[in-house]
Amino acid sequence: MSEFSLLSAFLIGIAGSVHCVAMCGGVVSALSFAIPEQKPVLPYLLGYNLGRIISYTIAGAVTGYAGSIFANKASHGIQILQWLSALFLILMACYVGGWLNWLKKFEQLGGRLWKYIAPVSKRLIPFKHPIYALPYGFIWGWLPCGLVYSTLVWSLASGSIINGALNMLFFGLGTLPALITLGSLGNQIKSLLNKPLFKQAMAGLLVLFALGVVLKSH
C-alpha cells in the first residue's frame, strides 16, 4: 500500500463530501435531539463518526479480501479490478459534478436490506453517554450510499484485507471534516458544498484519480 493510495482515498472522501452531506446531513442534524440538554455536542459527533468509519473499514477489509481472491484466480485479475475502479471513480465524478444522477439508482440496491437495519438504530436514542453514539454511527455506516459503494469497488483493486481496510479508513477520515463541522456550522457548510464551482472542482479531482489508476494498471 503506497502513501499515494492512502492520500487518494482521503481526498476521495473530501471530494465526496458533497454527497455525504446530502445523505448523512439529516442524520447528523438529528443527533442534536438525541443528546441530553446542556451536554457538549462534539463528543457525540465524534462517537457517531467513529462508528461510521469503523463500518467502512470492515467493509473495506471484506472487499479487499474478495479482490485478492479474484486477482489471484483470474487472468489479469488485478488489472481488470483497476480498470473497474477507474470506471466507478469517473461515474462518481459525474455524479458529484452534477452531470449524471446515477448514484441514486445504485443506492436502491441496498434499500431492501436497510429497512431491516434502520429500526435497530432507533433503540439507541436518546443517548445517555457519547459511547452510545458509536454503535449508532456503526449502523448508519451501512446506509445505502452510492459513494461508499463506488469507493468499495475502488478498494477491490487494493489487493489484500489490510489494504482494503486502510483505503476505506482513509476515505472515511476524508469525509470527517464536512460531517463534523456540519453539526456546528450547518448552513454555511451546505452552502459551500452546493456551489457549482466547488462540485466541479471535486469532480475534476476524482477524474484525475481515475486517470492515475489507469496509468498505474499499465
Residue 62, class by beta-carbon neighbours within 10 Å (0-12 exposed, 13-18 middle, 19+ buried)? middle
pLDDT of amino acid 87: 86
State the average pLDDT over residues 170-179.
88
Does position 165 have pLDDT exceeding 80, yes or no? yes
Contacts of residue 77, defined as CB under 8 A and 6 or more positions apart, other chains included, come to 70, 71
**Those residues with Cβ within 8 angstroms of residue 120's Cβ, 6 or more apart along the chain or in another chain:** 139
Q: Which three cell numbers stand for residue 21?
A: 452531506
pTM: 0.83
Choose between 8 and 106: higher pLDDT.
Answer: 8
Q: What's the pLDDT tens digit per position in 75-92?
A: 777 788 888 888 888 888
Across 168-176, average pLDDT: 93
User: Of 209, 75, 100, which is closest to residue 154 (Cα–Cα)?
Assistant: 209
Instruction: Decide: 174 and 56 in contact? Cβ < 8 Å.
Output: no
State the first-to-last Cα distance of the chain, in angstroms, to the nearest integer.
17
Name the residue type at position 192.
L
What SS3 string covers 189-208? HHHHHCCHHHHHHHHHHHHH
Which CA distances in Å does 21 have to 16, 88, 107, 180, 187?
9, 20, 15, 10, 11
The answer to whether residue 2 scores a pLDDT higher than 60 is no
Confidence tier at 172 by pLDDT (50, 70, 90):
very high
* Residue 98 main-chain phi, psi, to 5 deg: 80, 20
- pLDDT for the residue 162: 94
Decide which of 107 and 149 is more confident. 149
Query: Is the confidence at residue 63, as pLDDT, over 70?
Result: yes
Q: Under DSSP, is residue 37 helix (H, G, I), strand (E, B) or coil?
A: coil
Q: What is the pLDDT of residues 94-133, one digit of tens each?
A: 887 878 776 666 666 656 666 776 677 677 777 888 888 8
Average the pLDDT over 133-152 and give the result: 84
Separation of alpha carbons 214 and 85, rounded Å: 9
